[in-house]
Amino acid sequence: MRNWEKSPALLARARTPAGKVGFALLATAAMLPSVGYTAGILGAGIALMSFDPERRRRNLTLTFLAAFVFHFMGNPLVRDWKAASFGVSWILIWAGIISRWQVPLWLPHAATFTLVAALCALNVSGIRPVVMAANIITLSQHTLWRFSYWIKWRQRDSKSPAFEWICTLVPFSGGGGVPVGKGPLYMSRHEAADARALAAAQLSGLKLILLAFTWKAIEHMMANAVFGVKTLWFPWLAVEQARIPHIATILHTPLGYPLWERWLALFVELVRELLELAAFGHLVVGYFRLSGFAIPRNTDSPMLATTILDFWNRYYFYFKELLVDFFFFPVYLRQSGMKPLPRTIIATFVSAFLGNFYFHAFLYAPSLAMGSKAAFYNSVVSRTTYCLLLATGLCLSFWRSFGTKPAQLSFGGRAIRMAGVALFFALLHIWNAAPSEVTLGERTEFFLSLFRSY
């Protein structure tokens, strides 16, 4: 499965009409459990782009817009035509503004902040406590950084047609605050240039879609067989009582569980969270590859990392890139008179702490819009702690590796380092798990309980 995209036989078969239809059908079947009936629209889009690669960007835009609207109109759990109308209008209006004028980066951020603050104020005051406001806030946050990448693109290229790149503004299947694939500049660099490159991209994309399905299946097996949560997948595996308590449960009453169970729950949660992120990232990246854009993976074997910095690069690539593009480089370039080590550490700390917190502050706004001040407060305080610890760990990791060549590690030495990195991120996740449900005091109590047996 590792070298599908390098097999001459598979590459030749992928370029046939039967191969193109096969890509669409297999991808649709693999996506169906994750995105529901929206998979039909996305699968049809793959077929359209396979047979008409010359208009790939336009076809991808039309596919994403259709999938986005269907997500809000056809999904019985959402079904919010007002939010869908707002989302499409918001995207098209900003696309027109950014295409027509030289827009500063701060403008969409100011507009989004104003919109979020106004909706939160109305709902907190009890004037209009509706789900629609939370959906609109979520949509505005999910498009904010996409607009930012568009502005960067138009600053460099103001003449290319804008409509064909609207696909990079539409949240994949209705969700995702991090722009996987970044923006038009990045996507165009990874676009297939000929039929062979398209076939290779599609083979690697199908592989990722199938991996996403596999990780999702394992995640559901864990939910049923480990946590005792019955899901639509493998409900016959569900147990009546959880074999291992979920981290959201154990955080509230850590001393009610033996020490070994607290540690086990911590590492099981890290594995579950990585599976969830990998499944989502593989699905989105896989779809872009099937469309003809061979962009890098979002999650790439983070548990093999031997340093905190390496884990962060492997864990959530496009979120790391967002922080680097909009926080690290602006700070780094402003400190031109400093030496490389302190200059890099300052930029790293600002991006991992302030940039990380700024990004997530918008994510927590819907809870405030719904009138849950406690949930918003818990999320903000927990995220602040998480960002501070993460930034400190990344800076120390960079400081230790600065100016030194990577050491040649034995198998045992590599395993020890990998275990140490996993331990750091497992402990760090204490301040990230169930952000709105657990107080800072409860998280601190759980952390301390890991080092005492009573």
pLDDT for residue 73: 64
Q: What's the rounded Cα separation, in Å, for the pair 246 and 265?
A: 7
Domain ranges of the chain: 4-201, 211-449
pLDDT for residue 124: 55
pLDDT for residue 294: 94
Q: What's the rounded Cα separation, in Å, for the pair 173 and 336?
A: 42
The angle that helices 81-100 and 56-74 make with each other, rounded to 10 degrees, is 150
Q: Answer whether 350's CB lies under 8 Å from 327's CB.
A: yes
Q: Answer whether 174's CB lies under 8 Å from 68's CB.
A: yes
301 Rama class: left (phi>0) / alpha (psi -120 to 50) / beta: left
Q: What's the rounded Cα separation, in Å, for the pair 281 and 208?
A: 9
The angle that helices 356-363 and 131-156 make with each other, rounded to 10 degrees, is 140
Q: What's the rounded Cα separation, in Å, for the pair 318 and 367?
A: 25
| Total-model pTM | 0.91
Q: Which residues of 361-396 are buried (b: 16+ CB within 10 A; e: fewer)?
A: bbbbbbbbbbebeebbbbbbbbbbbbbbbbbebbbe
Mean pLDDT per 10-residue segment, the chain (454 residues): 72 83 87 83 90 90 86 59 78 90 91 82 56 72 91 88 88 73 93 90 91 92 87 83 84 87 92 92 93 94 93 94 95 88 94 94 77 82 94 93 76 90 94 82 91 76
pLDDT for residue 129: 45
Number of residues assigned to the chain: 454
240 Rama class: left (phi>0) / alpha (psi -120 to 50) / beta: alpha
Q: Which residues of 83-119 are buried (b: 16+ CB within 10 A; e: fewer)?
A: bbebbbebbeebbebbbeeebeeebbbebbbebbeeb
Q: What's the rounded Cα separation, in Å, for the pair 203 and 100?
A: 38
Contacts (Cβ under 8 Å, ≥6 apart) of 356: 323, 383, 386, 387, 390, 391
The angle that helices 373-401 and 340-349 make with each other, rounded to 10 degrees, is 160
- Tokens for 275, please give them: 């599976």
Q: What's the rounded Cα separation, in Å, for the pair 68 and 88?
A: 8
